[in-house]
């Protein structure tokens, strides 16, 4: 039932996004026919291109055609390159997925480590130092962190490439730039939940039975403390798959964010609309999966419903 409700709301959201992206084509001060035909095209050529593109039809008919193409998975063709938008997006998905998975893996690993280490040392100088450091890191823009990493490790030390797409050496810097803030945030969330869990009766019972401290933290406390992280990781993954525009631009990473930036500068409306639709679809699908997974991880929510 919960999954069906989420699918229903997701369909409504996607329809609303399709309306907004369609209206975007009429708000942007750009003539698609002029973009396709070229700046020196005469009036007769422009009228012919408009008829071929269906731009001479009334707005409701154009919208109906647009929704019909979306249902079939047809996102149109780029005004600039004349490439199928779906193919252009699919070419960029592997790079964005690669960067998202690596950065999230780093963020979760570092965040859990920080959260557990500070939770068992609450009130100490280590806990206070990590808290201050996390607040500082969270206030830093990701693209600025990326520029600092490029300057230090690529330009000055020359340990890593200045940018581009490739193997592990190319993904380290952009992944670290994205993971740093998320890791600190995950660490604070794990810290807070660990402190709450460590004060529960079943934790005290486990300690009274002589269970080793590391096992109490790893087996009993950490498992329950990680439940909220599931939602956060899902939302962050959806955001990263939507395209991290500034980070991909700074590191010259050929992902969906870079594609969106290029489309905006070129006023390539079909590509802009396609990337927005894909981002909305990813967010809806991931949120639905996270809700279902959350119910599976924590049965108490299901019983409460």
Task: Specify the pLDDT at position 174.
Answer: 92
Cα separation, 173 vs 202, whole angstroms: 42
Q: For all residues of the chain together, what is the average pLDDT? A: 80
Contact 186, 226 (CB under 8 A): no
C-alpha distances out from residue 64 to 12, 74, 282, Å = 16, 13, 23
pTM of the model: 0.81
Domain boundaries, the chain: 93-304
Place of tokens 């894909």: 278
Q: What is the pLDDT of residues 84-99, one digit of tens each?
A: 888 999 998 899 899 9
Contact 119, 190 (CB under 8 A): yes
Residue 288 has pLDDT above 90, yes or no: no
Token pair, residue 280, equals 């909305």
275 CB burial (10 A radius; 0-12, 13-18, 19+): buried
3-state class of 283 per DSSP? helix
Domain 93-304 carries which CATH code? 1.10.3720.10
**Window from 59-68, 151-160, 174-183 with minimum mean pLDDT:** 59-68
Average pLDDT in the 49-73 region? 79
Q: Which residues contact 298 (CB under 8 A, 6 or more apart)?
A: 227
pLDDT given for residue 29 in this prediction: 64
Q: Are 259 and 218 in contact (CB under 8 A)?
A: no
Token pair 């999954």 in the structure block, residue? 3
Structure tokens at 63: 């919208």
Q: Which residues pair with 84 in a beta bridge?
A: 77
Alpha carbons 230 and 238: distance in angstroms, whole number:
12
Per-residue pLDDT averaged across 65-79, rounded?
83
Contact 214, 249 (CB under 8 A): no
- Average pLDDT of span 180-189: 88
Which one, of 191, 257, 267, lies nearest residue 226 by Cα?
191
**115 or 301, greater pLDDT:** 115
pLDDT attached to residue 302: 52
Task: State residue 3's pLDDT score.
Answer: 63
Report yes or no: 188 and 194 within 8 Å, Cβ to Cβ: no
CA distances from 163 to 77, 170, 237 (A): 29, 6, 22
Rounded Cα distance, 92 and 97, in Å: 9
User: From CA 286, how far away is CA 231, in angstroms rounded?
Assistant: 10
């Amino acid at each position: 039932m919960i999954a069906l409700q989420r699918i229903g709301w997701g369909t409504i959201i996607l329809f609303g996004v399709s309306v907004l992206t369609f209206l975007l084509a009429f708000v942007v001060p750009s003539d698609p026919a002029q973009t396709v035909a070229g700046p020196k095209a005469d009036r007769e050529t422009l009228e012919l291109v408009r008829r071929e593109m269906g731009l001479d039809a009334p707005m409701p008919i154009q919208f109906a055609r647009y929704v019909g193409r979306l249902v079939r998975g047809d996102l149109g063709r780029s005004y600039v390159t004349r490439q199928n938008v779906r193919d252009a997006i699919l070419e960029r998905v592997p790079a964005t997925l690669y960067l998202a998975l690596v950065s999230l893996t780093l963020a979760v690993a570092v965040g859990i480590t920080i959260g557990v280490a500070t939770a068992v040392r609450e009130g100490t100088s280590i806990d206070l130092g990590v808290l201050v450091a996390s607040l500082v890191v969270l206030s830093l823009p990701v693209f600025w962190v990326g520029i600092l990493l490029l300057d230090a490790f690529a330009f000055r030390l020359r340990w890593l490439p200045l940018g581009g797409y490739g193997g592990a050496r190319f993904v380290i810097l952009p992944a670290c730039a994205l993971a740093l803030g998320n890791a600190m945030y995950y660490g604070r969330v794990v810290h807070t939940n660990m402190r709450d869990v460590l004060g529960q009766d079943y934790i005290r019972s486990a300690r009274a039975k002589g269970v080793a401290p590391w096992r109490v933290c790893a087996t009993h406390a950490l498992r329950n403390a990680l439940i909220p992280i599931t939602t956060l990781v899902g939302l962050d993954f959806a955001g990263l798959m939507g395209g991290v525009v500034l980070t991909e631009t700074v590191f010259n990473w050929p992902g969906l964010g870079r594609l969106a930036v290029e489309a905006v500068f070129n006023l390539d409306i079909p590509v802009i609309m396609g990337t927005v639709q894909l981002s909305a679809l990813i967010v809806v699908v991931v949120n639905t999966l996270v809700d279902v997974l959350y119910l599976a991880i924590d049965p108490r929510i299901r019983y409460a419903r």
